[in-house]
Structure 1
Protein backbone atom coordinates (compact mmCIF):
# COMPACT_ATOMS: atom_id res chain seq x y z
CA UNK A 1 0.00 0.00 0.00
CA UNK A 2 1.34 3.41 -0.98
CA UNK A 3 1.62 5.79 1.90
CA UNK A 4 1.07 9.52 1.42
CA UNK A 5 3.89 11.58 2.84
CA UNK A 6 2.87 13.88 5.66
CA UNK A 7 3.03 17.59 4.70
CA UNK A 8 6.03 19.51 5.92
CA UNK A 9 5.25 21.21 9.26
CA UNK A 10 5.97 24.65 7.76
CA UNK A 11 3.16 24.23 5.22
CA UNK A 12 0.66 23.46 7.95
CA UNK A 13 1.54 26.76 9.61
CA UNK A 14 0.96 29.09 6.64
CA UNK A 15 -2.78 29.66 7.02
CA UNK A 16 -2.81 29.72 10.85
CA UNK A 17 0.24 31.98 10.76
CA UNK A 18 -1.39 34.48 8.41
CA UNK A 19 -4.56 34.51 10.50
CA UNK A 20 -2.49 35.06 13.64
CA UNK A 21 -0.60 37.96 12.03
CA UNK A 22 -3.83 39.66 11.01
CA UNK A 23 -5.34 39.24 14.48
CA UNK A 24 -2.09 40.38 16.09
CA UNK A 25 -2.01 43.55 13.94
CA UNK A 26 -5.60 44.36 14.93
CA UNK A 27 -4.92 43.81 18.64
CA UNK A 28 -1.75 45.91 18.62
CA UNK A 29 -3.58 48.61 16.68
CA UNK A 30 -6.35 48.68 19.28
CA UNK A 31 -3.84 48.89 22.12
CA UNK A 32 -1.93 51.70 20.42
CA UNK A 33 -5.17 53.58 19.77
CA UNK A 34 -6.03 53.36 23.45
CA UNK A 35 -2.64 54.83 24.36
CA UNK A 36 -3.30 57.69 21.95
CA UNK A 37 -6.72 58.19 23.50
CA UNK A 38 -5.10 58.23 26.93
CA UNK A 39 -2.72 61.01 25.88
CA UNK A 40 -5.65 62.98 24.40
CA UNK A 41 -7.75 62.48 27.55
CA UNK A 42 -4.91 63.57 29.84
CA UNK A 43 -4.49 66.72 27.76
CA UNK A 44 -8.21 67.41 27.97
CA UNK A 45 -8.27 66.89 31.73
CA UNK A 46 -5.30 69.23 32.15
CA UNK A 47 -7.06 71.80 29.96
CA UNK A 48 -10.21 71.64 32.07
CA UNK A 49 -8.31 71.86 35.35
CA UNK A 50 -6.39 74.93 34.22
CA UNK A 51 -9.36 76.83 32.76
CA UNK A 52 -12.66 75.83 34.34
CA UNK A 53 -12.08 77.01 37.90
CA UNK A 54 -11.35 80.28 39.64
CA UNK A 55 -12.57 83.73 38.68
CA UNK A 56 -14.62 84.13 35.51
CA UNK A 57 -13.04 86.20 32.76
CA UNK A 58 -14.36 87.91 29.66
CA UNK A 59 -15.08 86.13 26.40
CA UNK A 60 -12.78 86.58 23.43
CA UNK A 61 -13.64 89.94 21.76
CA UNK A 62 -15.55 89.92 18.48
CA UNK A 63 -12.50 91.15 16.57
CA UNK A 64 -10.80 87.82 17.30
CA UNK A 65 -13.73 85.51 16.55
CA UNK A 66 -12.49 84.81 13.05
CA UNK A 67 -9.28 83.31 14.50
CA UNK A 68 -10.93 81.47 17.37
CA UNK A 69 -9.77 77.90 17.99
CA UNK A 70 -11.19 75.56 20.58
CA UNK A 71 -7.78 74.30 21.70
CA UNK A 72 -6.90 77.79 22.94
CA UNK A 73 -10.14 78.71 24.66
CA UNK A 74 -12.54 75.83 25.32
CA UNK A 75 -13.57 75.17 28.95
CA UNK A 76 -12.45 78.63 30.06
CA UNK A 77 -14.69 80.10 32.74
CA UNK A 78 -16.31 83.34 31.55
CA UNK A 79 -19.03 85.83 32.44
CA UNK A 80 -21.19 87.60 29.83
CA UNK A 81 -23.93 90.21 30.21
CA UNK A 82 -26.60 91.03 27.68
CA UNK A 83 -30.23 90.48 26.72
CA UNK A 84 -31.59 87.01 26.03
CA UNK A 85 -33.47 86.74 22.73
CA UNK A 86 -36.07 84.39 24.13
CA UNK A 87 -38.07 84.37 20.92
CA UNK A 88 -35.11 82.54 19.33
CA UNK A 89 -34.81 79.93 22.09
CA UNK A 90 -33.83 76.64 20.41
CA UNK A 91 -34.36 73.27 22.14
CA UNK A 92 -31.65 70.80 21.13
CA UNK A 93 -32.36 67.14 21.88
CA UNK A 94 -29.95 65.50 24.30
CA UNK A 95 -29.48 63.43 27.43
CA UNK A 96 -28.87 64.79 30.89
CA UNK A 97 -25.84 63.23 32.63
CA UNK A 98 -26.89 60.20 34.64
CA UNK A 99 -26.93 60.48 38.41
CA UNK A 100 -24.93 57.83 40.34
CA UNK A 101 -26.85 54.59 40.08
CA UNK A 102 -29.43 56.14 37.76
CA UNK A 103 -30.02 56.47 34.05
CA UNK A 104 -29.78 59.42 31.67
CA UNK A 105 -32.94 61.45 31.18
CA UNK A 106 -34.10 62.48 27.71
CA UNK A 107 -34.88 66.10 27.10
CA UNK A 108 -33.58 69.28 25.55
CA UNK A 109 -30.77 71.77 26.03
CA UNK A 110 -32.05 75.30 25.58
CA UNK A 111 -29.77 77.27 23.27
CA UNK A 112 -30.67 80.96 23.50
CA UNK A 113 -28.91 83.90 21.82
CA UNK A 114 -27.60 86.58 24.18
CA UNK A 115 -27.28 89.99 22.54
CA UNK A 116 -24.30 91.87 23.96
CA UNK A 117 -24.40 95.65 24.56
CA UNK A 118 -22.49 96.23 21.31
CA UNK A 119 -24.99 94.18 19.26
CA UNK A 120 -22.90 91.04 18.81
CA UNK A 121 -24.40 87.70 19.88
CA UNK A 122 -23.16 84.80 21.96
CA UNK A 123 -25.20 81.62 22.05
CA UNK A 124 -25.93 80.38 25.56
CA UNK A 125 -26.71 76.80 26.52
CA UNK A 126 -28.93 77.75 29.44
CA UNK A 127 -29.37 74.18 30.59
CA UNK A 128 -31.55 71.09 30.44
CA UNK A 129 -35.34 70.62 30.50
CA UNK A 130 -37.18 67.26 30.38
CA UNK A 131 -39.22 66.27 27.34
CA UNK A 132 -42.50 67.57 28.76
CA UNK A 133 -41.08 71.09 29.26
CA UNK A 134 -39.93 71.69 25.69
CA UNK A 135 -42.67 74.29 25.14
CA UNK A 136 -41.85 77.60 26.93
CA UNK A 137 -45.53 77.88 27.86
CA UNK A 138 -45.03 75.00 30.31
CA UNK A 139 -42.38 77.01 32.20
CA UNK A 140 -43.47 80.67 31.99
CA UNK A 141 -40.90 81.90 34.51
CA UNK A 142 -37.94 80.45 32.64
CA UNK A 143 -37.34 83.32 30.21
CA UNK A 144 -35.96 86.38 32.04
CA UNK A 145 -36.40 89.82 30.49
CA UNK A 146 -33.95 92.68 30.42
CA UNK A 147 -30.26 92.57 31.23
CA UNK A 148 -29.02 89.13 32.19
CA UNK A 149 -25.59 87.94 33.35
CA UNK A 150 -24.49 84.39 32.61
CA UNK A 151 -21.46 82.64 34.09
CA UNK A 152 -20.27 79.44 32.48
CA UNK A 153 -17.70 77.68 30.34
CA UNK A 154 -16.72 78.34 26.74
CA UNK A 155 -17.62 75.38 24.54
CA UNK A 156 -16.86 74.51 20.94
CA UNK A 157 -19.75 73.70 18.59
CA UNK A 158 -20.95 70.15 19.06
CA UNK A 159 -19.41 67.85 16.46
CA UNK A 160 -21.74 65.87 14.26
CA UNK A 161 -21.12 62.29 13.21
CA UNK A 162 -22.80 59.69 11.03
CA UNK A 163 -25.33 58.99 13.79
CA UNK A 164 -26.41 62.62 14.27
CA UNK A 165 -29.82 63.19 12.64
CA UNK A 166 -30.21 66.18 10.36
CA UNK A 167 -31.70 69.26 12.00
CA UNK A 168 -35.18 70.35 10.93
CA UNK A 169 -35.61 74.03 11.92
CA UNK A 170 -39.15 74.22 10.55
CA UNK A 171 -40.16 71.43 12.95
CA UNK A 172 -38.00 72.80 15.78
CA UNK A 173 -36.08 69.54 15.75
CA UNK A 174 -32.42 70.14 16.57
CA UNK A 175 -29.77 67.56 17.37
CA UNK A 176 -26.47 69.45 17.65
CA UNK A 177 -25.46 72.46 19.73
CA UNK A 178 -24.09 74.40 16.78
CA UNK A 179 -24.26 78.21 17.22
CA UNK A 180 -23.86 79.06 13.55
CA UNK A 181 -26.58 76.69 12.34
CA UNK A 182 -28.99 77.99 14.97
CA UNK A 183 -28.11 81.60 14.18
CA UNK A 184 -28.71 81.02 10.47
CA UNK A 185 -32.17 79.58 11.16
CA UNK A 186 -33.07 82.74 13.10
CA UNK A 187 -31.41 85.15 10.63
CA UNK A 188 -28.89 86.35 13.22
CA UNK A 189 -25.47 87.73 12.38
CA UNK A 190 -22.34 88.71 14.31
CA UNK A 191 -22.58 85.42 16.21
CA UNK A 192 -19.64 83.97 18.15
CA UNK A 193 -18.17 80.71 16.83
CA UNK A 194 -18.43 79.20 20.32
CA UNK A 195 -21.19 79.03 22.90
CA UNK A 196 -21.26 79.45 26.67
CA UNK A 197 -22.43 76.55 28.82
CA UNK A 198 -24.25 78.13 31.76
CA UNK A 199 -23.29 77.04 35.25
CA UNK A 200 -25.65 75.67 37.89
CA UNK A 201 -26.94 79.08 39.04
CA UNK A 202 -30.70 78.50 39.56
CA UNK A 203 -33.05 79.93 36.95
CA UNK A 204 -36.48 81.41 37.77
CA UNK A 205 -39.01 78.63 38.18
CA UNK A 206 -36.23 76.05 38.46
CA UNK A 207 -35.86 75.46 34.73
CA UNK A 208 -33.72 75.04 32.75
CA UNK A 209 -31.08 73.41 34.93
CA UNK A 210 -27.58 74.55 34.05
CA UNK A 211 -24.25 73.10 35.08
CA UNK A 212 -24.83 69.86 33.20
CA UNK A 213 -21.28 69.49 31.90
CA UNK A 214 -19.22 66.83 33.66
CA UNK A 215 -15.74 68.09 34.50
CA UNK A 216 -14.52 64.84 36.10
CA UNK A 217 -13.68 62.69 33.10
CA UNK A 218 -12.93 58.96 33.46
CA UNK A 219 -9.56 57.90 32.07
CA UNK A 220 -9.39 54.10 31.79
CA UNK A 221 -7.52 53.98 28.50
CA UNK A 222 -4.30 52.55 29.99
CA UNK A 223 -6.31 49.65 31.41
CA UNK A 224 -7.90 49.06 28.00
CA UNK A 225 -4.50 49.22 26.28
CA UNK A 226 -3.00 46.68 28.69
CA UNK A 227 -5.97 44.40 28.01
CA UNK A 228 -5.50 44.52 24.22
CA UNK A 229 -1.73 44.04 24.47
CA UNK A 230 -2.28 41.18 26.92
CA UNK A 231 -4.61 39.42 24.48
CA UNK A 232 -2.00 39.96 21.74
CA UNK A 233 0.69 38.38 23.92
CA UNK A 234 -1.60 35.44 24.70
CA UNK A 235 -2.23 34.98 20.99
CA UNK A 236 1.51 34.83 20.33
CA UNK A 237 1.87 32.23 23.06
CA UNK A 238 -0.95 30.10 21.67
CA UNK A 239 0.49 30.17 18.15
CA UNK A 240 3.99 29.39 19.45
CA UNK A 241 2.63 26.34 21.27
CA UNK A 242 0.71 25.29 18.15
CA UNK A 243 3.85 25.62 15.99
CA UNK A 244 6.00 23.74 18.49
CA UNK A 245 3.57 20.82 18.42
CA UNK A 246 3.74 20.78 14.61
CA UNK A 247 7.54 20.40 14.72
CA UNK A 248 7.55 18.13 17.79
CA UNK A 249 4.51 15.83 17.47
CA UNK A 250 3.79 13.24 20.11
CA UNK A 251 4.64 9.61 19.12
CA UNK A 252 0.96 8.75 18.74
CA UNK A 253 0.42 11.76 16.43
CA UNK A 254 3.47 10.77 14.32
CA UNK A 255 2.17 7.24 13.90
CA UNK A 256 -1.30 8.50 12.92
CA UNK A 257 0.08 10.87 10.26
CA UNK A 258 2.21 8.08 8.78
CA UNK A 259 -0.77 5.77 8.13
Structure 2
Protein backbone atom coordinates (compact mmCIF):
# COMPACT_ATOMS: atom_id res chain seq x y z
CA UNK A 1 0.00 0.00 0.00
CA UNK A 2 1.25 3.46 -0.92
CA UNK A 3 1.38 6.58 1.22
CA UNK A 4 -1.29 9.19 0.70
CA UNK A 5 -0.59 11.99 -1.73
CA UNK A 6 -1.50 15.55 -0.84
CA UNK A 7 -4.47 15.37 -3.21
CA UNK A 8 -5.76 12.16 -1.60
CA UNK A 9 -5.29 13.57 1.89
CA UNK A 10 -7.25 16.69 0.89
CA UNK A 11 -10.04 14.52 -0.48
CA UNK A 12 -10.15 12.51 2.72
CA UNK A 13 -10.27 15.66 4.82
CA UNK A 14 -13.21 16.93 2.76
CA UNK A 15 -14.95 13.57 3.17
CA UNK A 16 -14.88 14.14 6.94
CA UNK A 17 -16.82 17.39 6.66
CA UNK A 18 -20.35 15.92 6.61
CA UNK A 19 -19.81 13.34 9.38
CA UNK A 20 -17.92 15.97 11.38
CA UNK A 21 -20.85 18.42 11.21
CA UNK A 22 -23.29 15.65 12.12
CA UNK A 23 -21.10 14.68 15.07
CA UNK A 24 -20.92 18.30 16.29
CA UNK A 25 -24.70 18.66 16.09
CA UNK A 26 -25.24 15.43 18.05
CA UNK A 27 -22.56 16.47 20.54
CA UNK A 28 -24.25 19.83 21.12
CA UNK A 29 -27.58 18.07 21.74
CA UNK A 30 -26.05 15.58 24.18
CA UNK A 31 -24.19 18.27 26.12
CA UNK A 32 -27.35 20.37 26.17
CA UNK A 33 -29.35 17.47 27.59
CA UNK A 34 -26.72 16.82 30.25
CA UNK A 35 -26.58 20.49 31.22
CA UNK A 36 -30.39 20.62 31.39
CA UNK A 37 -30.43 17.62 33.73
CA UNK A 38 -27.94 19.37 36.02
CA UNK A 39 -30.22 22.40 36.08
CA UNK A 40 -33.22 20.17 36.84
CA UNK A 41 -31.22 18.59 39.66
CA UNK A 42 -30.78 22.00 41.28
CA UNK A 43 -34.46 22.82 40.83
CA UNK A 44 -35.54 19.47 42.31
CA UNK A 45 -33.24 19.89 45.33
CA UNK A 46 -34.64 23.39 45.91
CA UNK A 47 -38.19 22.04 45.64
CA UNK A 48 -37.52 19.23 48.12
CA UNK A 49 -35.92 21.66 50.56
CA UNK A 50 -38.91 24.00 50.22
CA UNK A 51 -41.42 21.21 50.82
CA UNK A 52 -39.55 19.98 53.89
CA UNK A 53 -39.26 23.50 55.32
CA UNK A 54 -42.91 24.28 54.74
CA UNK A 55 -44.10 20.92 56.07
CA UNK A 56 -42.53 21.76 59.45
CA UNK A 57 -43.95 25.27 59.69
CA UNK A 58 -46.96 26.15 61.81
CA UNK A 59 -49.88 26.22 59.35
CA UNK A 60 -51.47 29.65 58.79
CA UNK A 61 -54.97 30.10 57.40
CA UNK A 62 -55.39 29.20 53.74
CA UNK A 63 -55.06 32.15 51.35
CA UNK A 64 -58.26 33.81 50.12
CA UNK A 65 -59.64 31.75 47.21
CA UNK A 66 -59.90 34.80 45.01
CA UNK A 67 -56.76 36.59 46.13
CA UNK A 68 -53.36 36.44 44.51
CA UNK A 69 -52.54 32.76 43.97
CA UNK A 70 -49.07 32.04 42.59
CA UNK A 71 -48.61 28.28 42.21
CA UNK A 72 -44.83 28.57 41.90
CA UNK A 73 -44.52 30.59 45.10
CA UNK A 74 -47.39 29.18 47.16
CA UNK A 75 -47.58 25.49 46.26
CA UNK A 76 -46.54 23.05 49.02
CA UNK A 77 -47.22 25.65 51.68
CA UNK A 78 -48.83 24.04 54.75
CA UNK A 79 -52.09 25.75 55.70
CA UNK A 80 -55.19 25.39 57.86
CA UNK A 81 -58.82 25.77 56.78
CA UNK A 82 -62.19 25.36 58.52
CA UNK A 83 -65.51 24.47 56.92
CA UNK A 84 -68.08 21.76 56.29
CA UNK A 85 -67.53 18.82 53.95
CA UNK A 86 -69.97 18.34 51.07
CA UNK A 87 -69.76 14.55 50.95
CA UNK A 88 -72.46 14.24 48.31
CA UNK A 89 -70.15 16.04 45.85
CA UNK A 90 -66.97 14.06 46.47
CA UNK A 91 -64.85 13.02 43.48
CA UNK A 92 -62.68 9.92 43.15
CA UNK A 93 -59.43 10.35 41.21
CA UNK A 94 -57.64 7.20 40.05
CA UNK A 95 -54.20 6.79 41.61
CA UNK A 96 -51.66 4.62 43.37
CA UNK A 97 -50.42 4.70 46.96
CA UNK A 98 -47.46 3.02 48.66
CA UNK A 99 -48.28 -0.46 49.95
CA UNK A 100 -45.98 -3.26 50.94
CA UNK A 101 -42.30 -2.79 50.01
CA UNK A 102 -41.97 -2.95 46.24
CA UNK A 103 -45.74 -2.95 45.73
CA UNK A 104 -48.23 -0.14 45.12
CA UNK A 105 -51.91 -0.14 46.03
CA UNK A 106 -54.39 0.68 43.30
CA UNK A 107 -57.35 2.81 44.21
CA UNK A 108 -58.60 6.37 44.38
CA UNK A 109 -57.89 9.71 46.00
CA UNK A 110 -61.00 11.20 47.60
CA UNK A 111 -61.48 14.88 46.76
CA UNK A 112 -64.23 16.38 48.90
CA UNK A 113 -65.37 20.02 48.69
CA UNK A 114 -65.09 21.95 51.95
CA UNK A 115 -67.53 24.86 52.15
CA UNK A 116 -66.47 27.78 54.29
CA UNK A 117 -68.61 30.29 56.16
CA UNK A 118 -67.92 32.95 53.55
CA UNK A 119 -69.52 30.76 50.85
CA UNK A 120 -66.25 29.85 49.14
CA UNK A 121 -65.28 26.23 48.53
CA UNK A 122 -61.92 24.47 48.63
CA UNK A 123 -61.32 20.97 47.30
CA UNK A 124 -59.68 18.77 49.93
CA UNK A 125 -57.75 15.67 48.94
CA UNK A 126 -58.70 13.72 52.05
CA UNK A 127 -56.48 10.79 51.12
CA UNK A 128 -56.39 7.38 49.49
CA UNK A 129 -58.91 4.53 49.50
CA UNK A 130 -58.31 1.11 47.89
CA UNK A 131 -60.54 0.06 45.01
CA UNK A 132 -62.79 -2.09 47.21
CA UNK A 133 -63.68 0.98 49.31
CA UNK A 134 -64.48 3.36 46.49
CA UNK A 135 -68.20 3.40 47.32
CA UNK A 136 -69.05 5.80 50.17
CA UNK A 137 -71.43 3.16 51.58
CA UNK A 138 -68.45 0.86 52.19
CA UNK A 139 -66.74 3.50 54.29
CA UNK A 140 -69.71 5.23 55.90
CA UNK A 141 -67.77 5.69 59.12
CA UNK A 142 -65.46 8.06 57.23
CA UNK A 143 -68.18 10.70 56.79
CA UNK A 144 -67.13 13.73 58.83
CA UNK A 145 -70.17 15.85 59.68
CA UNK A 146 -70.38 19.39 60.97
CA UNK A 147 -67.68 22.01 61.00
CA UNK A 148 -64.16 20.64 60.86
CA UNK A 149 -60.62 21.98 60.53
CA UNK A 150 -58.19 20.55 57.98
CA UNK A 151 -54.46 21.10 57.77
CA UNK A 152 -52.44 20.17 54.73
CA UNK A 153 -50.37 21.26 51.74
CA UNK A 154 -51.49 23.65 49.04
CA UNK A 155 -51.41 22.07 45.59
CA UNK A 156 -52.10 23.45 42.14
CA UNK A 157 -54.42 21.84 39.63
CA UNK A 158 -52.75 18.79 38.09
CA UNK A 159 -51.75 18.82 34.41
CA UNK A 160 -52.39 15.64 32.44
CA UNK A 161 -49.24 14.06 30.99
CA UNK A 162 -48.88 11.99 27.85
CA UNK A 163 -49.26 8.63 29.60
CA UNK A 164 -52.28 9.56 31.74
CA UNK A 165 -55.78 8.85 30.33
CA UNK A 166 -58.05 11.80 29.74
CA UNK A 167 -60.72 12.30 32.39
CA UNK A 168 -64.35 11.71 31.41
CA UNK A 169 -66.67 13.95 33.48
CA UNK A 170 -69.76 12.35 31.93
CA UNK A 171 -68.80 8.99 33.47
CA UNK A 172 -67.33 10.63 36.58
CA UNK A 173 -63.98 9.02 35.70
CA UNK A 174 -61.07 11.22 36.79
CA UNK A 175 -57.36 10.60 36.33
CA UNK A 176 -55.97 14.01 37.33
CA UNK A 177 -56.75 16.54 40.06
CA UNK A 178 -58.41 18.91 37.59
CA UNK A 179 -59.84 21.59 39.87
CA UNK A 180 -61.81 23.60 37.26
CA UNK A 181 -63.09 20.42 35.59
CA UNK A 182 -64.22 18.82 38.85
CA UNK A 183 -65.84 22.05 40.05
CA UNK A 184 -67.83 22.37 36.81
CA UNK A 185 -68.86 18.69 36.83
CA UNK A 186 -70.09 18.87 40.43
CA UNK A 187 -71.85 22.21 40.04
CA UNK A 188 -69.57 23.96 42.54
CA UNK A 189 -69.24 27.74 42.56
CA UNK A 190 -66.72 30.14 44.07
CA UNK A 191 -64.06 27.41 44.13
CA UNK A 192 -60.47 28.16 45.07
CA UNK A 193 -57.88 27.70 42.29
CA UNK A 194 -55.92 25.36 44.54
CA UNK A 195 -56.66 22.26 46.60
CA UNK A 196 -55.33 21.06 49.93
CA UNK A 197 -53.61 17.70 50.39
CA UNK A 198 -54.76 16.71 53.88
CA UNK A 199 -52.27 15.68 56.55
CA UNK A 200 -52.22 12.18 57.97
CA UNK A 201 -54.82 13.00 60.64
CA UNK A 202 -56.84 9.76 61.05
CA UNK A 203 -60.32 9.77 59.56
CA UNK A 204 -63.16 7.90 61.29
CA UNK A 205 -62.85 4.27 60.26
CA UNK A 206 -59.31 4.82 59.00
CA UNK A 207 -60.31 5.80 55.44
CA UNK A 208 -59.52 7.84 53.43
CA UNK A 209 -55.88 7.65 54.47
CA UNK A 210 -54.35 11.12 54.34
CA UNK A 211 -50.75 12.25 54.40
CA UNK A 212 -49.97 10.68 51.03
CA UNK A 213 -47.90 13.60 49.80
CA UNK A 214 -44.28 12.44 49.86
CA UNK A 215 -41.33 14.81 50.28
CA UNK A 216 -38.85 12.15 49.19
CA UNK A 217 -39.34 13.04 45.54
CA UNK A 218 -37.11 11.08 43.13
CA UNK A 219 -34.03 13.04 42.14
CA UNK A 220 -32.16 11.03 39.51
CA UNK A 221 -31.09 14.00 37.43
CA UNK A 222 -27.38 13.64 38.23
CA UNK A 223 -27.49 10.06 36.99
CA UNK A 224 -29.26 11.19 33.82
CA UNK A 225 -26.68 13.96 33.32
CA UNK A 226 -23.79 11.49 33.61
CA UNK A 227 -25.56 9.27 31.06
CA UNK A 228 -25.83 12.06 28.49
CA UNK A 229 -22.27 13.26 29.09
CA UNK A 230 -21.03 9.65 28.86
CA UNK A 231 -22.74 9.19 25.50
CA UNK A 232 -21.13 12.46 24.37
CA UNK A 233 -17.67 11.16 25.32
CA UNK A 234 -18.34 7.91 23.48
CA UNK A 235 -19.38 9.90 20.40
CA UNK A 236 -16.13 11.89 20.54
CA UNK A 237 -14.14 8.67 20.85
CA UNK A 238 -15.91 6.95 17.95
CA UNK A 239 -15.51 9.95 15.64
CA UNK A 240 -11.86 10.38 16.63
CA UNK A 241 -11.06 6.77 15.75
CA UNK A 242 -13.01 7.06 12.50
CA UNK A 243 -11.24 10.30 11.50
CA UNK A 244 -7.78 8.97 12.43
CA UNK A 245 -8.24 5.82 10.37
CA UNK A 246 -9.66 7.83 7.49
CA UNK A 247 -6.62 10.12 7.42
CA UNK A 248 -3.86 7.60 8.18
CA UNK A 249 -4.77 4.40 6.40
CA UNK A 250 -2.45 3.88 3.43
CA UNK A 251 -3.83 4.42 -0.02
CA UNK A 252 -4.87 1.41 -2.02
CA UNK A 253 -2.38 0.63 -4.76
CA UNK A 254 -3.59 1.63 -8.19
CA UNK A 255 -4.12 -1.13 -10.73
CA UNK A 256 -1.28 -1.21 -13.25
Counterpart in the other structure of 1:127: 127
CA offsets per residue over residues 132-176 of structure 1, 9 Å max, x none? 211111111111111122111111111123333332223220111
Partner of 1:242: 242
User: What corresponds to 1:230 in structure 2?
Assistant: 230
The alpha-carbon deviation at position 54 of structure 1 amounts to 2.6
1:152 aligns with 2:168: no
Match of 1:34 in 2: 37
Residues 66 and 192, structure 2, Cα contact 8 Å, conserved in 1: no
Contact 1:97 1:214 in 2 (8 A): no
| Structure 1 match to 2:94 | 93
- Matched residue of 2:141: which SS? helix
Which residue number corresponds to residue 178 of structure 1?
178
The alpha-carbon distance between structure 1 residues 257 and 227, as it changes in their structure 2 partners (threshold 3 A), is farther
Task: Note closer, same or farther for the CA distance 1:218–1:21 as it changes in structure 2 (3 Å cut).
Answer: same
**CA–CA distance in 2 between the matches of 1:218 and 1:48?**
13
Query: What displacement does 1:75 show?
Result: 0.8
Q: Distance in 2 between matches of 1:133 and 1:164?
A: 23
Q: Aligned residue for 1:82?
A: 83
Task: Name whichever of 181-190 and 82-91 sits farther off.
Answer: 181-190
Q: What's the offset of the Cα at 1:15?
A: 4.0
Relative to structure 1, the CA distance from residue 257 to residue 228 in structure 2 (aligned partners, 3 Å threshold; closer, same or farther) is farther
For the Cα contact (< 8 Å) 1:38–1:221, is it kept in 2?
Answer: yes
The alpha-carbon deviation at position 11 of structure 1 amounts to 3.6
Partner of 1:60: 63
Deviation at 1:59, TM superposition (A): 0.4
Q: CA deviation at 1:39?
A: 2.5
Unpaired runs of 5+ in structure 2?
Answer: 1-6
Query: Alignment partner of 1:139: what SS?
Result: helix
- Contact 2:79–2:153 (CA<8 Å) still a contact in 1? yes
Please, what TM-score do these two structures have when normalized by structure 1? 0.88
Contact (CA 8 Å) 1:121, 1:192: kept in 2 or not?
Answer: yes
The RMSD of aligned alpha carbons is 2.0
Structure 1 spans left out of the alignment, 5+ residues: none
The alpha-carbon deviation at position 98 of structure 1 amounts to 5.6
Q: Deviations over 1:32-73 (max 9, x none)?
A: 221221122122123213312131211002451xx2111221
Deviation for aligned residue 1:131 = 1.3
User: Normalization by structure 2: what TM-score?
Assistant: 0.89
Structure 1 position 203, deviation (Å)? 0.8
Deviation at 1:6, TM superposition (A): 5.9
Q: CA deviation at 1:258?
A: 4.2
Count of residue pairs brought into register by the alignment? 248
**Structure 1 residue ranges, 4+ long, deviating more than 6 angstroms after superposition:** none
Q: Which residue of 1 aligns with 2:3?
A: none
> Cα offset for 1:185?
1.1
Compared CA separation, residues 10 and 214, structure 1 to 2 (3 A):
same
In 2, Cα distance between the equivalents of 1:133 and 1:183? 23
